[in-house]
Amino acid sequence: MLNDTAGPGSAKEAFVAKRIVIIGGGAAGIGAAGAARGTDRDAEIVVYTEYEDAAYSPCGIPYVHGGEIPDFERLFLGTKQQYADQGIDIRYQTAVQTIDAHGRNVRVGHGPPVPYDALVVTTGWEYGKPDVPGNDLAGIYYMKNIREAMQWHEVLEGVRSAVVLEAGPLGMEMVTALCHRGIQTHLVDPGPWALAMATDPDIVAPVQESWQEMGAQLHFNTKLEAILGDDAGRVRGVATSGGDVACDLVVVCTHKEPRTELGAAAGLAVGTAGGFIVDETMATSVPGVWAAGDCAEIPHGVSNVPIQGLSGSHAYAQGKVAGVNAAGGQRAYQPVYVPWAMVAGKWMIGGVSFSETLATALGIPFVTGQAQGISRARYFPDLKPVKVKLLAEPGTLRLIGAQMVGGEGIKERADFLAMAVRTGITLRDLATMENVYSPPIGALNEPIALAAQDALARLEG
């Protein structure tokens, strides 16, 4: 119940505004700020960010590098004035030093403590830094901040060959983007295939083949051993368990690790996935403190295992829930089933929840079915293949996972199947689903239905 501009006894005493402090200006922080404003018109809302900007879309950066998006300017969501006009006070290039959760204040720079009524921690993530010799050479690109990306974009003009470290979602986008630019691209990944935590090899195979058609060289089951430098301290290649690879640039796309130092020092409990533990209101273990986005961990809806490092859409949605609750409203966040999809190489690939590989690794039993379908009537020009694999719980036949690779409609199908997993839709439901049949946009048989029918046919022997 604090208001900097009106002390006790002033004429404005009747006007009691709440101060909500948000640490972090990414999707979660900006989502929290907007939702807090929507919940409480009078609250004072302050966002601290280390960066020069807030509310741009880092997800767009690979596509500027790849040439699909013509400039960085359009990645910004709004002007700084627009936030000011909403009464959201964003303090740029301002790092929060400490949180005093007991005293309900934060310290910023060398100034006095800044009190808060509610605090939302959205400190995000950072790449796992490769723990190898040469990891401080010039020419190692950690893609994240848009100002740095603009500088690297100029560097890319002179790059002939690049190594992308690890085929997570960002790595897959960057391999595709660098191939688009005509850079000789190497993917180095310790896993057996791309995005191995989420995919099966049969689903990702067309993507990998298309990268090769685009000129990329793929080094799977390959560990990075060192980054090699020249006499000027610049990257000249990498040493791996499979031999040396020459390159001008290393793009680090390792796992997103939650940034929790600040919150952990203030007593916020950290869980098994390395993120802040939150309840369904995004409240942390410390009263008056919420957390959202990549610094928090969230239960997976099927396995109940905590996970973190999801998408910007998840961060934004979590931020909104945290912002509403921090401002005195009531909103709950649901467990996640994690629909995902992307353009990779010449394909769209996506899925939800478990792959066969992951379910097997976790000891989760499943039955499965798959089908190779098409996206339009079989005679319509530019139709695309759509391969679907479904995983279901034995007995109940409730859907527990899906994977797809194809050329159209993968994102929409992933969204659908995530809701199917969440609401307990079964293979029998999907096998008898109705589908739009219209030659330019939909085939006689929906690939999801065909995959479910395949699963039932296998079960019936």
CA atoms in the 13 A half-sphere facing the CB of 376? 11
Q: Tell me: does residue 414 bind a copy of itself (CB under 8 A).
A: yes
Number of residues engaging a copy of itself in binding (CB under 8 A): 63
Q: Hey, what amino acid is at 367?
A: V
* Closer CB to a copy of itself, 14 or 436, in the complex: 436
Q: Tell me: does residue 75 bind a copy of itself (CB under 8 A).
A: yes
Q: Tell me: does residue 442 bind a copy of itself (CB under 8 A).
A: yes
Q: What is the dihedral of CA 454, 456, 460, 461, to 10 degrees?
A: 30
The nearest distance, CB 28 to a copy of itself, in angstroms, is 12
Q: Tell me: does residue 127 bind a copy of itself (CB under 8 A).
A: no
Cα(243)–Cα(224) distance, integer angstroms:
10
Structure tokens at 317: 């949605």
* Closer CB to a copy of itself, 15 or 437, in the complex: 437
Q: Would you give the binding string for a copy of itself spanning residues 214-253, x where CB under 8 A is met?
A: ----------------------------------------
The nearest distance, CB 257 to a copy of itself, in angstroms, is 21
Q: Tell me: does residue 59 bind a copy of itself (CB under 8 A).
A: yes
Q: Tell me: does residue 396 bind a copy of itself (CB under 8 A).
A: no
The nearest distance, CB 379 to a copy of itself, in angstroms, is 4
Q: Give first-to-last CA distance, the chain, whole Å.
A: 67
Interhelix angle for 312-326 vs 27-39, to 10°?
Answer: 30
Please identify which residue in 1, 379, 395, 461 interacts with a copy of itself, judged by CB under 8 A. Answer: 379
* Closer CB to a copy of itself, 270 or 349, in the complex: 349
Interhelix angle for 201-213 vs 169-181, to 10°?
Answer: 20
25 closest CA partner among 57, 71, 1: 57
Q: Tell me: does residue 153 bind a copy of itself (CB under 8 A).
A: no
Helix (H) or strand (E) holding 210: helix 201-213
- Phi, psi (rounded to 5 degrees) for 188: -115, 120
Please identify which residue in 3, 57, 86, 210 interacts with a copy of itself, judged by CB under 8 A. Answer: 57
Give long-range contacts, CB 8 A cutoff, 24+ apart: 2-6.
Answer: 2/44, 2/115, 2/116, 2/117, 3/44, 4/44
Cβ–Cβ under 8 Å, residues 401 and 374: no
93 closest CA partner among 27, 145, 28, 36: 145
Please identify which residue in 12, 423, 458, 459 interacts with a copy of itself, judged by CB under 8 A. Answer: 423
Q: Tell me: does residue 327 bind a copy of itself (CB under 8 A).
A: no
Please identify which residue in 211, 316, 347, 354 interacts with a copy of itself, judged by CB under 8 A. Answer: 316
Cα(22)–Cα(20) distance, integer angstroms:
7
Distances (CA, A) of 162 to 25, 142, 216, 270, 450: 31, 13, 10, 36, 41
The nearest distance, CB 166 to a copy of itself, in angstroms, is 18
* Closer CB to a copy of itself, 93 or 438, in the complex: 438
Q: Tell me: does residue 32 bind a copy of itself (CB under 8 A).
A: no
Q: Tell me: does residue 347 bind a copy of itself (CB under 8 A).
A: no
Q: Tell me: does residue 299 bind a copy of itself (CB under 8 A).
A: no
Structure tokens at 140: 């190692």
The owner of tokens 């046919």 is 457
Please identify which residue in 24, 237, 309, 339 interacts with a copy of itself, judged by CB under 8 A. Answer: 339
Q: Tell me: does residue 160 bind a copy of itself (CB under 8 A).
A: no
Q: Tell me: does residue 83 bind a copy of itself (CB under 8 A).
A: no
Residues that bind a copy of itself (CB under 8 A): 27, 57, 59-60, 63, 68-70, 74-75, 311-314, 316-317, 333-334, 336-343, 348, 350, 377, 379-381, 409-416, 418-420, 422-423, 425, 429-430, 432-442, 444-446, 448
